[in-house]
Amino acid sequence: MKLIITIAIIILLLLLWFYRHPLNRNIFKNRNIIYSPAYGRILKVQYLKGDKIHIAIFLSPYDIHRQYIPISGRVKKILYDRTGKFNIAYKFNKSNKNEKFITILDTDRGDVIIYQIAGILVRRISNYMRVGEYVDTGVEMGIIHFGSRVDITIPNASSFNLLVNEGEYMRGINSKIGYYIR
């Protein structure tokens, strides 16, 4: 009986730690800055056709799995791709095909796209956004349960000063990805 209670307490403590809320300290006044939507390590930075930057952030089981709005805007579209697989999230080319929520924000600088990508474990994503609502920088966007990746596509790369590199650790909205220079 003591063993069962001990195991239950350990599982409860692990769940409380996993679903913890971080301490976010930023006051978001500058509308030219894009913050990290997630806690985790930058897996990939790519410049895409159409003057865009795509950044992939891997969330290990030790990271906070809540996501945040990286820049103020109106929620233009939310898509849920149920056709995907559940590959390991840190395998960049494989996890691109994973099940995901895609949130498109209409901002002053163009459409910012945030991808909440499911991993191999629990395979559940919660997205709290509603199409048409205006959301401020730093608002909690959702949570990916137990392992995942969060990607962001930033428009107007030619006027964006990128501050991050592959391998760097992002502390959610306490970390700046970059800012628009014009």
Of 112, 98, 18, nearest to 68 by C-alpha is 112
Residue 29 phi, psi dihedral angles, 5° rounding: -110, -25
Q: Which of 72, 148, 159, 175 is catalytic?
A: 148
Residue 133 phi, psi dihedral angles, 5° rounding: -80, 150
Under 8 Å between Cβ of 111 and 157: no
175 is catalytic: no
Burial class for 36, CB neighbours closer than 10 Å (0-12, 13-18, 19+): buried
Which two structure tokens, joined as six digits, stand for 64? Answer: 């906070």
Cα distance between residue 94 and residue 82, in whole Å: 16
Q: Can you give the three-state secondary structure of 147-165, one letter per residue? A: CEEEEEEECCHHHEEECCC
Of 88, 92, 141, nearest to 118 by C-alpha is 88
Instruction: Just list the catalytic residues.
Output: 148
